[in-house]
Amino acid sequence: MRSPTTDKSAWDIEQQVSPMVGIQTNGLTRYDRHNDPTSSSSPDLKHQAYAPLPSVEYIPVHGEWERKDNPNWPDRAFKIPDVVKPGQVYYVRKGFFVCIGATARVERLPAGGIVKTPLENPLIPIEERMNRDGMKCEVAVYRLLGDVSFVPKFLDWNPDRCDTNTATRVKWAIQAGQALAGLHARGIIHADVAPRNFLLNNTLDLRVCDFAGSSFPGRPVPPSASGSRYQARPWGRDYVPTAADDIFGLGSVLYFIMAGEEVFSDLEDEEVERRFQLQEFPATKALQQGCVIHGCWNGYSTTAGAVVDALVDCRKRENE
- Summarize pLDDT for 34-45 with one digit per residue, the tens: 333 333 333 343
Compute the mean pLDDT over every residue in the chain, rounded to the nearest whole number: 80
Residues in the chain: 320
- pTM attached to this predicted model: 0.56
Cβ neighbour number for residue 21 with a 10 Å cutoff: 23
pLDDT in tens, the chain (320 residues): 333 344 443 334 333 333 333 333 333 333 333 333 333 333 343 444 444 556 889 999 999 889 888 989 999 899 999 888 888 899 999 999 988 888 889 998 888 888 899 998 888 888 888 888 888 888 888 888 888 777 777 777 776 665 677 888 999 999 999 999 999 999 999 999 999 899 888 788 899 998 888 988 887 776 677 889 999 999 888 888 999 999 999 999 999 999 888 999 889 999 999 999 999 999 998 888 999 999 999 999 999 999 999 999 989 888 77
What interhelical angle do 243-259 and 304-319 show, nearest 10?
A: 30
**CA-wise closest residue to 229 among 209, 260, 250, 215:** 250
**Which helix (DSSP H) or strand (DSSP E) does residue 200 occupy?**
strand 198-200
Q: Is the bond into 54 cis (omega within 30 degrees of 0)?
A: yes
- Summarize pLDDT for 147-173 with one digit per residue, the tens: 877 777 777 777 666 567 788 899 999
Domains of the chain: 10-129 (no CATH), 166-319 (1.10.510.10)
Read off the amino acid at residue 242.
Answer: T
